[in-house]
Structure 1
Amino acid sequence: MAEARFELSVERRIAAPVERVWHVMTARLEEWFYPAPWRAEARTLEWHAGGRSLIVMHGPNGEEMPNEGIVLTVEPNRRFVVTDAFTGDWQPAGPFMVGLFEIEPDGDGTLYRGTARHWTREAMEQHRAMGFEQGWGAAADQLKALAEHA
């Protein structure tokens, strides 16, 4: 029996080389990671497996939503993976998802894929209802625009 996969994903083709897209994905993360008018503040982002991630979402009306987790892997010019299942020093947290941010060569450009994997169908459906496609799609569009005009 095939294992159920509770994942949501967005893709974009970006007219820029993989190295440029990777640079924008990592060095300029605060400029694309959340859909405008929301913005990201990377208070802590340790770019290595086991590194701490604390990215705060700032909303247009003063909202502040901290998103703390752990970096699971970083493969330069390929992908980074994060989860909120743990906080610093591997403290268990209420897991919601694993986020995969992947790129690969696509002709003379790059294919970007953002995927959220969830532990349960309910969590996946909750994420969909929160506006996954619109929010992650807008972030992907922001990444695309930055990388194509860098």
Structure 2
Amino acid sequence: MHELSVTRFIDAPPEKVWDVMVNRMEEWWCPKPWRAEFDRLERRPGGVSNCTMYGPDGEVHSHPGTVLAWDEGHRFASTDAIVGDLEPAGPFMIGIWSIEPEGSGTRYTASARHWKEEDSKRHEEMGFTEGWGACADQLKALCEAA
């Protein structure tokens, strides 16, 4: 397994972090000035997910996938290896977003697991640490806002 991850301590209770994570996804899911729109997200294992990201210069990237895990209040995971009605796709990664209580707040971790080392390296070269880190910072700011 080839994994990349980012983590942040969020000074907010896990219940609040989970609520923001799953109910305000479009506000933190991709680094600004990009924006994300989920036109479908079935919150259950086997559910369909489709997110489209829009860039500041007119870029449009569709990200279809399948929800692999939805553990309410704890974590969710999805993959781009299966899309639509159980259609195989060129697998790139499994994404896992999780939270755990930590002291007076919450530990947030986002991970990307890849089948091949070259895919993991390519993802890192695409700016994984900066991009997913920016998303984590956006989530943190939303959760810590009064």
Place the TM-score, normalised by the shorter chain, in its bin: over 0.9
Q: Which residue of 2 aligns with 1:12?
A: 8
> Does 2:130 correspond to 1:141?
no
Q: Which residue of 1 aligns with 2:47?
A: 51
Q: Distance in 2 between matches of 1:57 and 1:77?
A: 25
Q: Tell me the CA shift for residue 107 of structure 1.
A: 0.6
Q: Distance in 2 between matches of 1:29 and 1:47?
A: 13
Aligned length: 146
- The DSSP-based 3-state class of the residue aligned with 2:129 is helix
Q: Tell me the CA shift for residue 62 of structure 1.
A: 1.0
Task: Summarize the alignment of residues 69-88 of structure 1 with structure 2, pairs less than 5 Å apart.
Answer: 69-88=65-84
Q: Distance in 1 between matches of 2:62 and 2:31?
A: 15
Q: Which residue of 2 aligns with 1:33?
A: 29
> Does 2:104 correspond to 1:105?
no
- The DSSP-based 3-state class of the residue aligned with 1:94 is coil
Q: Which amino acid aligns with 1:63?
A: E
Q: Distance in 1 between matches of 2:81 and 2:66?
A: 8
Report the TM-score when normalising by structure 2: 0.98
| Aligned CA-pair RMSD | 0.7
Aligned residue among 47, 57, 60 for 2:56: 60
- The DSSP-based 3-state class of the residue aligned with 2:123 is helix
Moved more, 116-125 or 43-52: 43-52
- The DSSP-based 3-state class of the residue aligned with 1:89 is coil
Q: Which runs of 4+ in 1 moved over 3 A?
A: none
Aligned residue among 88, 92, 98 for 1:96: 92
Gaps of 5+ in 2: none
Q: Distance in 2 between matches of 1:7 and 1:39?
A: 25
Q: Tell me the CA shift for residue 51 of structure 1.
A: 0.6
- The DSSP-based 3-state class of the residue aligned with 1:112 is strand
Gaps of 5+ in 1: none
